[in-house]
Structure 1
Amino acid sequence: MNLPVLITGASSGLGLETAKVLAAENFPLILGCHDDEKAKAAVRCIREHAPGAEIELLDLELASLDAVRAAVETLHRREQPRLGAIVCNAGLQIVDRVRTSQDGYELTFAVNHLGHFALVTGCADLLEAGARVVMVSSDVHQGPRKSMGFPAPQWRDPRELASPDDRGAAGRDGRIAYSTSKLANVYFAYELARRWGERGITVTAFDPGLMPETGLSRGYPAPARIGFRLLAPLLIRVMPIARTVTRSAADLARLATAPELADVTGKYFTGAAEVPSAPESYDQDRAAELWRVSEDLIATARRVPPVERR
Structure 2
Amino acid sequence: MAGERGTKLPVLVTGASSGLGLKTAKTLAVEGIPLILGGHDEQKTAAAVRQIREHAPGAEIELVDLELASLEAVAAAVDALHRRERPGLGAIVCNAGLQIVDGVRASRDGYELTFAVNHLGHFALVTGCGDLLGAGARVVVVSSDVHQGPRKSMGFPAPRWRDPRALATPGENAASDRDGRIAYANSKLANVYFTYELARRWRDRGITVNAFDPGLMPETGLARGYPAPARIGFRLLAPVLIKVMPIARTVTRSAADLARLVTDPELAQTTGEYFTGAAQVPSAPESYDRDRATRLWQVSEELVAAARRTSAE
Give the TM-score category using the shorter length: over 0.9
1:82-97 equivalences in 2 (<5 Å): 82-97=88-103
Give me the whole-angstrom Cα distance separating, in 2, the residues matched to 1:96 and 1:47: 36
Give me the whole-angstrom Cα distance separating, in 1, the residues matched to 2:113 and 2:310: 17
Q: Secondary structure at the match of 1:135?
A: strand
Give me the whole-angstrom Cα distance separating, in 2, the residues matched to 1:304 and 1:32: 24
Query: Counterpart of 2:14?
Result: 8
**1:34 Cα offset (Å):** 1.0
Identify the match of residue 259 of structure 2 among 237, 250, 253.
Answer: 253
Give me the whole-angstrom Cα distance separating, in 2, the residues matched to 1:68 and 1:182: 20
| CA displacement 1:5-41 (0-9 Å, x = unmatched) | 0000000000000000000000000000110000000
Give me the whole-angstrom Cα distance separating, in 1, the residues matched to 2:200 and 2:267: 17
Give me the whole-angstrom Cα distance separating, in 1, the residues matched to 2:148 and 2:135: 31
Q: Secondary structure at the match of 1:166?
A: coil
The question of whether the paired residues in 2 share the 8 Å contact of 1:95 and 1:168 is answered with no
RMSD: 0.9
| CA displacement 1:168-208 (0-9 Å, x = unmatched) | 31000000000000000000000000000000000000000
Question: Which stretch of the first structure deviates more once superposed, 32-41 or 165-174?
Answer: 165-174
TM-score by length of 2: 0.97
TM-score by length of 1: 0.98
The question of whether the paired residues in 2 share the 8 Å contact of 1:4 and 1:85 is answered with yes
Identify the match of residue 131 of structure 1 among 122, 131, 137.
Answer: 137
**1:303 Cα offset (Å):** 2.3
Q: Does residue 183 of the first structure (1) align with residue 189 of the second (2)?
A: yes
Q: Does residue 230 of the first structure (1) align with residue 236 of the second (2)?
A: yes
Give me the whole-angstrom Cα distance separating, in 2, the residues matched to 1:78 and 1:57: 11
Identify the match of residue 118 of structure 2 among 105, 109, 112.
Answer: 112
The question of whether the paired residues in 2 share the 8 Å contact of 1:6 and 1:85 is answered with yes
Number of aligned positions between the proteins: 306
Identify the match of residue 193 of structure 1 among 165, 174, 199.
Answer: 199
Q: Does residue 102 of the first structure (1) align with residue 101 of the second (2)?
A: no
The question of whether the paired residues in 1 share the 8 Å contact of 2:149 and 2:155 is answered with yes
Query: Counterpart of 1:296?
Result: 302
Query: Counterpart of 1:264?
Result: 270
Give me the whole-angstrom Cα distance separating, in 2, the residues matched to 1:212 and 1:167: 30
**1:304 Cα offset (Å):** 2.5
Query: Counterpart of 1:152?
Result: 158
Query: Counterpart of 2:30?
Result: 24
Equivalent pairs: percent with the same residue? 80
The question of whether the paired residues in 2 share the 8 Å contact of 1:202 and 1:264 is answered with yes
Give me the whole-angstrom Cα distance separating, in 1, the residues matched to 2:93 and 2:195: 12
Q: Does residue 67 of the first structure (1) align with residue 73 of the second (2)?
A: yes
Query: Counterpart of 1:56?
Result: 62
| CA displacement 1:50-76 (0-9 Å, x = unmatched) | 011000011000000000000000000
| CA displacement 1:245-290 (0-9 Å, x = unmatched) | 0000000000012111100000000000000000000000000000
Identify the match of residue 128 of structure 2 among 115, 122, 128.
Answer: 122
The question of whether the paired residues in 1 share the 8 Å contact of 2:72 and 2:311 is answered with no
Give me the whole-angstrom Cα distance separating, in 2, the residues matched to 1:157 and 1:237: 39
| CA displacement 1:281-307 (0-9 Å, x = unmatched) | 00000000000000000111122359x
Query: Counterpart of 1:173?
Result: 179
**1:79 Cα offset (Å):** 1.1
The question of whether the paired residues in 1 share the 8 Å contact of 2:10 and 2:35 is answered with yes
Structure 1: segments with no counterpart, 5+ residues: none
